[in-house]
Amino acid sequence: MSVTELDFRPDAPPAPLVLRNAALFLDLDGTLAPIAARPQDVAPDPRRTDILEKLMGRLEGRLAVVSGRTLADIDRILEGCVPAVAAVHGLVFRGADGAVTQAAPHPALPQAVAALRRFAADHPGMLVEDKLLSATLHYRGDPEHGEAARAEAERVAALTGLAVQPGDMVMELRTPGPTKGDSVETFLTRAPFSGATPIFLGDDLTDEDGFAAVRRLGGFGVLVGPARLTAARLRLDDVDAALAWLEAAR
């Protein structure tokens, strides 16, 4: 979904979450966990795990995590408490039954990783994360060179044919394929999600496809973080507010 399609600036918080016939789709970083300087610094949290475990039971499994992280990283941070996961922005899909499918990696990914690492070597605050299906340039540690990071990612994408996935202080080059929105749609064709009203919580541009998908399918998106143009219709201030909203579900 392009930025030009974002059409709403929500400021109203959602009403208390009613779980009956709801299906929850949750981003991870910036939504369930505060964003850390380095992705590996995000750790399991007992309160978050307890909230998700209780929701899993009360929703009869109608909960999925839809994240840009790898499947292994999601399971590490959430202590394996959520079976249904779309990882690497939808390129890896694990259904509620535990079956995993994933896209074939783009052949130019090693070239892209090498190029981004050369660029990051000249910018000591930047990190490159190789997710096998995508390559991510993190510039949170060097924000003054964010425009240079964006330009380099776009240059490498043009050379390799990889898709550009902008995010919060990151530029990701990913294998073309399913998006977060596609993953939501796939979940909703399968048990136990089929027939439920979808709700998507996310914080940044990588979540817009998810917001748009649930809107098309009769549900709604909730933006976590400052107000901005988005396809979501409601907003929560931050991760703590998101966890409190989920914790108070009835």
CA atoms of 235 and 138, how far apart (whole Å): 26
pLDDT of residue 5: 62
For tokens 């309160």, name the residue.
Answer: 47
Is 27 tagged catalytic? yes
For every residue of 174-223, which 3-state class applies, written as one string?
ECCCCCHHHHHHHHCCCCCCCCCEEEEEECCHHHHHHHHHHHHCCCEEEE
CA atoms of 238 and 211, how far apart (whole Å): 17
CA atoms of 39 and 131, how far apart (whole Å): 12
Upstream peptide bond of 192 is cis (omega within 30 degrees of 0): yes
User: 180: burial class by Cβ within 10 Å (0-12, 13-18, 19+)?
Assistant: buried
Q: Hey, which residues does 23 pair with through a beta bridge?
A: 198
Catalytic residue among 7, 11, 27, 168: 27
Helix-helix angle 239-247:46-58, to 10 degrees:
40
Sheet holding 197-202, edge to edge: 100-102, 92-94, 84-87, 63-66, 22-26, 197-202, 220-224, 234-236
Structure tokens at 36: 């850390």
pLDDT of residue 4: 42
pLDDT of residue 37: 85
- Locate all alpha helices (DSSP H) within 31-83, ordered by sequence: 46-58, 71-78
pLDDT of residue 6: 74
Chain centre distance of CA 199: 14
CA atoms of 152 and 149, how far apart (whole Å): 5
Q: Hey, which residues does 34 pair with through a beta bridge?
A: none
Ranges of the chain whose pLDDT falls below 50: 2-4
Structure tokens at 190: 């399968």
Backbone phi, psi, residue 60, to 5°: 55, 40
